[in-house]
Amino acid sequence: MNVLITGAGRGIGLALTRAFLNEGHPVLAVSRNIEELIKIGNTNLTAYSFDLLNNDFTPLIKKVNKTFGNLDILINNAGIVVVKPLLDFSDEDFDRLFNVNVKAAYKMVKGCVPLMKQGSHIVNISSIGGFQGSVKFPGLALYSASKGAIAVLTESMAVELADEKISVNALALGAVQTEMLSTAFPEYKAPLQPHEMASFIKDFALTGHKVYNGKILPVSLSTP
């Protein structure tokens, strides 16, 4: 399976890249910083530096086409978090959060779908914070809203791509001990490590579309 992962330079994305490579899958790993990816040293890995805040995704899509020709799995994993009280958010904060967490995923799908065949799988990484009815936390209003947006976008994408027989699902992840989590909440210790969550996502990306499509699936040890 040819696999494209965004936000692959650290945390879950980096662990996910390793998980696919360990099973022999060719991976195009996209991140602004590819230093850790280069260290992997696997011939099946193509590391590509790209900022998802760029307006022009043409170079990235050309890289996908040049690397694979066709794409089987797209994992929109890239995301950012800004922790602030609701009334302290700036317009710039809003735009950055939604441009990376929502718009970039849309642009990846728009660019990559022409390279995907029947039976391909798109996995959007959402958050339990964006899952309707889950516990919400102060400081995460816009982050949660952006992750809720990607969930609804996933449902719509699945309908739009039904004729092409390309499946689209979202995983609403609970807390994982990543650098991003530690920066946002230094005192909090998550119950899962990146490689543990990555193993689940990898398996789901490979087989989950056989039984799910257009679904938002909570992946969390806590309820709600």
Q: Tens of pLDDT along 18-39?
A: 999 999 999 999 999 999 999 9
Three-state DSSP state, 60: helix
List of E strands, 63-152: 71-76, 116-127
Question: Any catalytic annotation for residue 188?
Answer: no
106, 143, 188, 212: which one is catalytic?
143
Six-digit token pair at 200?
């689940």
Q: Which CATH number fits domain 3-219: 1.10.4080.10, 3.30.1180.20, 3.50.50.60, 3.40.50.720?
A: 3.40.50.720
Q: Give the closest residue to 13 by CA, choosing from 26, 30, 1.
A: 30
Over residues 8-17, the mean pLDDT reads: 95
Q: Is the pTM of this model over 0.75?
A: yes
Q: Residue ranges per domain, the chain?
A: 3-219
What local confidence, expressed as pLDDT, does residue 27 receive?
Answer: 98
Six-digit token pair at 143?
């982050």
Rounded distance between C-alpha atoms, residue 143 and residue 153, angstroms: 15
Task: Note the pLDDT tens digit of each residue in 96-146.
Answer: 999 999 999 999 999 999 999 999 999 999 998 878 888 888 898 999 999
